[in-house]
Structure 1
């Protein structure tokens, strides 16, 4: 009886997530069977709070889906994102000017020291792999630099846009439903996280005032002044508010929210363009026979801050944004973000049978001679194109609060960034291959010549 139930329902493996909201959505919203066994391979959907390596994807069955793409570290790690965005800024200085000038330490240490000695600006230093505000501090002079190991330094935005005298940032939720071809959605709802002390321009006397300078919820919730929003029907109070309530307030005060939203969407697309080639490489090399382009998906948390002129700047990208639900507001928003993403991914029991049939068809067409092999490649391309059209039709009908931003009206404009990213990726892989070849040669023992007598 239990086996029959599993055959007729989605099996959702939640053994590697700490978030109760994930389990709630699977069980209570969709009615799926939850599996808590880390060794169980008989699942349709696997949710993990950790990154996914290519080997894990390569071992997945055609009908299975997982909530991360291998290679997302390219924007999820602060140092990697800074490197990738810096490279694109060198090529497109006016198009990639949406993030603070950044230095990756220790490799850029000398350049950053020179910057500190010549400038009176303030800089923020962040550990390259930390989260929730851990290890972050501000510097104005060289002697303020506590460490230069494995961190990034950025120019601090000294004139942020303020609401009620407080600095804040926006957590924008983005769904990447496919990587080749690319499919990007932005959700209409999100969060605004506020600092808990009134903002003052950074000075020698307040550099350590983290409740003033940082907007991280994990930091500010420890301030006795922190006000939790316990009423999801009134999303415009407290130190964590809904994204929509902030946008409504800005619009009521006469600001151009439409242009702001368009700029945020532009930032998201351009950022993901920087890693599309690597995502595609890892995906295709791990699942060369997959035609669905839908075995992986990712809910990303883009952190955006606004300057005093309402221009958005990218602070960081979270590949595992927190789904902790400390308040009813949290619960209401995050339940939507997760459930509507899963609706787009079209996770159904019949997918098992469909993908198994496709897999069998592809296997039967693998013939040794070149002509048949070419026919198989053409057939696979046709199946991929049809799967993409099918996925697009489904997402258009089931997007909920998600809005597709790529592909869209400005595809031709973004193609130049995708092409540049492919060239950069090709250069990186060429260097890696050269190093591997040199390493292999150096490790090969040379023949011992006989000694002449």
Structure 2
């Protein structure tokens, strides 16, 4: 009898050990419906416990740096969807300053359009020397998703722009690449991951093309024909223009352009950018033994010679789809995101690891 009971107990313990432990996530943000659907698709349910969870999703990314300091961590296996120092990456003036200080101004200009920080006296002395009334300049405020942008060539407007909340003035790329009459940029999805003070970066092979609302014209100062608008783009544009990067690849092939060479240039820019920012990232000691990661939207413009330039990093990029193709792309990005943190097993992960090095 005792032998039978012992065998039963052993079987129960064995079966329990073979039963997968259901994973959970913690968040206070009810609006993250898109991420919620992907998580629950993979049987990752929401946890009501403040410290018992596998994945922590911040309430939002505007104040994520402060929230990271308050997260209750129970063990080193817990994963946090946010990295300390992310504000350094997305700050337009800080990003340019980091790149120019790391690589020198000349090389930084090959990564981003030449930029001048409005409250930096040395930058503005150089700008006044470089200023050309026949050129166009872009003023930018510390806002994301194409907000807080003003196009001008008026020196007095630029000189007083910091009083109106602008942080940088940037050279406008005059020979932007055009498809069917519209200037464009591409949104690239980038992940920065941290563990034990080590920074790794990933870039997804998919993304989306974003176009100007109006077709290009002779008015160099017109906003709608020179600045792409992610939230205002007429969906009819995509009937004839590429939406996804796969469609852009096909378009390049038709034009006999080398897409792989073009995308490798983008990978190089993102690698150098993350390498330069790495010393400022992931310095929060209380989370140093936990995997922390964050998804960024990198906006890339390129000229008629297919030379790409980084415009900005967006933290917490908009993942709300605008079309079925866009939905499939973004769902793939989110699933691959869970894959690179080993929260799920997925094949053919579209994220590619970048070469991040000490500088």
Which TM-score tier does this pair reach, normalised by the shorter chain? 0.7 to 0.9
1:283-316 Cα shifts (integer Å, max 9, x gaps)? 4x2345x2xxx52011121110110111000000
Taking a change above 3 Å as real, the CA distance of residues 125 and 340 of structure 1, as seen in their structure-2 partners, is same
Question: In 2, are the aligned partners of 1:227 and 1:239 still within 8 Å (CA)?
Answer: no
Q: 2:43 aligns with which of 31, 36, 44?
A: 31
CA deviation after TM superposition for structure 1 residue 131, in Å: 1.6
Match of 1:196 in 2: 213
Match of 2:286 in 1: 286
Q: Structure 2: which 5+ runs fail to align?
A: 1-15
Q: 1:46 aligns with which of 50, 56, 59?
A: 56
Taking a change above 3 Å as real, the CA distance of residues 69 and 161 of structure 1, as seen in their structure-2 partners, is same
Cα distance between partner residues in 1 of 2:177 and 2:331: 29
Name the Cα RMSD after superposition.
2.8
Corresponding pairs, count: 332
| 1:341-360 alignment, distance < 5 Å | 341-347=337-343
Cα distance between partner residues in 2 of 1:99 and 1:32: 39
Question: In 2, are the aligned partners of 1:199 and 1:212 still within 8 Å (CA)?
Answer: yes
CA deviation after TM superposition for structure 1 residue 144, in Å: 3.6
Q: 2:294 aligns with which of 293, 298, 304?
A: 298
SS state of the match for residue 188, structure 2?
Answer: strand
Q: 1:315 aligns with which of 311, 318, 338?
A: 311
Match of 2:259 in 1: 257
1:60-102 Cα shifts (integer Å, max 9, x gaps)? 63221111110011211112111111212327x3476221111
1:304-356 Cα shifts (integer Å, max 9, x gaps)? 011011100000011211112232222211111111110221127xxxxxxxx
Question: In 1, are the aligned partners of 2:83 and 2:194 still within 8 Å (CA)?
Answer: no
Taking a change above 3 Å as real, the CA distance of residues 317 and 201 of structure 1, as seen in their structure-2 partners, is farther
Cα distance between partner residues in 2 of 1:268 and 1:137: 26
| 1:335-414 alignment, distance < 5 Å | 335-347=331-343, 398=347, 400-406=349-355
Match of 1:70 in 2: 84
Cα distance between partner residues in 2 of 1:118 and 1:246: 34
Question: In 2, are the aligned partners of 1:170 and 1:193 still within 8 Å (CA)?
Answer: yes
Cα distance between partner residues in 2 of 1:181 and 1:132: 29
